[in-house]
Structure 1
């Protein structure tokens, strides 16, 4: 729905590694405009500035405040400074900028206390206690960490595959054929090495491609393949350590947690993490809703429980949120 120029509204952006969403929301929490673009993580998206520029071009008047969730923000001072510079140059209105997982946590708990466990291509925890103290656990990237993420699962699967092919891991033999079939490789053992190297050489975005392999691991784990189950169990243990570390550091052993990210679409992983961490709570809002909540505060509005409920409905009506079934 096009936004009426001059009508007071908020800008909310959820800028992730694979996709970016920008919405305009009016005072009644109705979504007036939706824009989408590719990933805007400066660490592995060289065109992130161009994607951002396209989203922020030709916006209507009346934007009173903005909330930006940006992948990678708050980590590297150099990268964060580049993100800040872009927004200063934009400078349309008062705004707040934070990490994209921060806005996801704000959305999930309506600005209240809780632990947001993100397991997508990467992995990290963002947690906030009742006093507003916040902390991050993980989020170091695939070179140093991202344990338990979809990328980690895919990389472990490739390692299991190659060790099984070499005979270094005899128990992985039963993993080789079904996983190769998932990847579209031939059954002939002599042709697998060439197919694997061709696959690797043809990757345009290796991290996303490796993360996509987690779906095959989930399918094999559900079918009872023991090697796949061990990978899933290892991922769940890593993710549970993220939650445990946040609870210890905040001295809140019962702090509720909420899951987010595409890796949790793998049912075997989600069940394993629930077994270790307890049942998660359902999110109140999606990440872009968290950005809208922060923007509303920046604008001096009163985003109380009633406003959050209207925002939840507005985002749902716009097809941007699917509330969990009670």
Structure 2
């Protein structure tokens, strides 16, 4: 039987997405699961294996954009071994931000700034040279990420509760209402500690707060606005560093990740780095392009346009 479909996976810290795509760039299958970053998810193999179940038949090629790949020799080898066992077809593995950059710029030069659960930037220069900054993890990096924003918000919340900083624009009342906590200081402090003690997965839970902080900022909350501004400044340093490292080229930049859906954050970044270029394809699109090329398909303008339309129709644009 002629093998006529490809598989693409985008594996991040919070979620993992699999697409099976036909030669006409239409989507045959879409599957979603939890995060698969081996630095954060001990059971990442089961996540990927569950997505790849029954995907070997009629498979021409596959491409995997995996968080953590290339960042640890041991984990990268484990990713290679696991994916080889799950996918006997020709396949390619890249860091998830590298894959997102390929999708955003359609394999052309540029800088992709990703802020999701973690943060990192990947750049490709005019001469084809690549470089990356950030992606150091939550212990001493990931500045400007959703987890970083959530952690900073929790710190400011606790400081407001005990009086170390001013409770500006009702930050405590907004944050308390978000969780259904009482506003009275002693009771609220106890509710915060109880919430933390009962978290099953700390990073995703804390990262999820970033969406609400962005919403509070748009509503005029000064504490939230300050947090968003700090995040933008931290993320802008990624872009500046990559432009410097790639021979001082003022490369265009684009974005990916849930944190970047915040218009206030993107506006602040535009003031620091210039207006961003809208991504040509979302991160999973980069993995589709790599798999399609590996399968020998023509990935010209028509294929890319159809793929963009397919992703948009599937709610993945």
TM-score (normalised: structure 1): 0.91
Is the 1:285–1:321 Cα contact (8 Å) retained in structure 2? no
Is the 2:20–2:30 Cα contact (8 Å) retained in structure 1? yes
Question: Cα offset for 1:172?
Answer: 5.4
TM-score (normalised: structure 2): 0.93
CA distance in structure 2 between the partners assigned to 1:216 and 1:321 by the alignment = 22
- 1:14 aligns with 10
- 2:138 aligns with 142
- 1:238 aligns with 234
Find 2:149's aligned residue among 142, 147, 153.
Answer: 153
1:299 aligns with 2:276: no
Find 2:111's aligned residue among 112, 115, 138.
Answer: 115
Is the 2:3–2:60 Cα contact (8 Å) retained in structure 1? no
CA distance in structure 1 between the partners assigned to 2:84 and 2:185 by the alignment = 56
Question: Cα offset for 1:28?
Answer: 2.1
Q: Which 4+ runs in 1 deviate beyond 4 A?
A: 171-174
Question: Cα offset for 1:173?
Answer: 8.7
Is the 2:253–2:277 Cα contact (8 Å) retained in structure 1? yes
Question: Could you report, residue by residue, the CA deviation over 1:54-93 in whole angstroms, capped at 9, with x for unpaired residues?
Answer: 2222125321211111111110111111111112223421
Change over 3 Å in CA distance of 1:87–1:199 after alignment to 2: same
Question: Could you report, residue by residue, the CA deviation over 1:275-303 in whole angstroms, capped at 9, with x for unpaired residues?
Answer: 21222111111211111111122223332
Matches within 5 A, 1:156-305: 156-170=152-166, 174-305=170-301
- Where 1:23 maps in the other structure, the secondary structure is strand
Give aligned pairs, total. 317
Is the 2:113–2:256 Cα contact (8 Å) retained in structure 1? yes
- 1:128 aligns with 124
Query: Unaligned stretches of 5+ in structure 1?
Result: none
- 1:87 aligns with 83
Query: Unaligned stretches of 5+ in structure 2?
Result: none
Question: Cα offset for 1:100?
Answer: 1.0
- 1:321 aligns with 316
Change over 3 Å in CA distance of 1:229–1:36 after alignment to 2: closer
CA distance in structure 1 between the partners assigned to 2:2 and 2:238 by the alignment = 44
Change over 3 Å in CA distance of 1:223–1:308 after alignment to 2: closer
CA distance in structure 2 between the partners assigned to 1:172 and 1:107 by the alignment = 41
Is the 2:256–2:283 Cα contact (8 Å) retained in structure 1? no
Q: Alpha carbon RMSD of aligned pairs, Å?
A: 1.9
